Amino acid sequence: MTKDGILLFAHGARDPAWAQPFEATERALRARAQAQGADVALAFLEFMSPTLLEAGAQLAAQGCTQVTVVPLFLGAGGHVRKDLPRLMAEMAEQHPQVQWRLSAAVGETDILIQALSEAAWSLAHPA
């Protein structure tokens, strides 16, 4: 039997307030995912915890057998193209019972590009 997990991955910052939109995203996604029997975790590259390796271990310990890592980045820069594959290889080595999959960065999706356009328009032209 398979159990899905979704691992949200954000950059991290020294200012704790920076994480609020990502934490809100995690809460909203968790409510949706739990209805499907999936688990959700949020991880950070630097400055904040948990790290990707810690959050991945948490999902593995919760019995997830398939985990999709979703980069919460507007584009696939060096962190997504270089750091993230290295970290995913490390998770696969530490938790071989889990199938790890990397999705595109959220900023590369049509839905987010449209949402950013709408947000920019509404900020430039307030009602």
Q: How does pLDDT run along the chain (127 residues), one tens digit per residue? A: 899 999 999 999 999 999 999 999 999 999 999 999 999 999 999 999 999 999 999 999 999 999 999 999 987 767 777 889 999 999 999 999 999 999 999 999 999 999 999 999 999 998 7
Could you tell me the residue range of the domain that residue 15 belongs to? Answer: 4-124
What's the pLDDT score for residue 54?
A: 98
Instruction: Report the CATH number at residue 43.
Output: 3.40.50.1400
Q: What is the pTM of this model?
A: 0.92
What's the pLDDT score for residue 64?
A: 98
Question: In three state form, how does the secondary structure of the chain look?
Answer: CCCEEEEEEECCCCCHHHHHHHHHHHHHHHHHHHCCCCEEEEEECCCCCCEHHHHHHHHHHCCCCEEEEEECCCCCCHHHHHHHHHHHHHHHHHCCCCEEEECCCHHHCHHHHHHHHHHHHHHHCCC
Q: How many domains does the chain have?
A: 1
What's the pLDDT score for residue 1?
A: 81
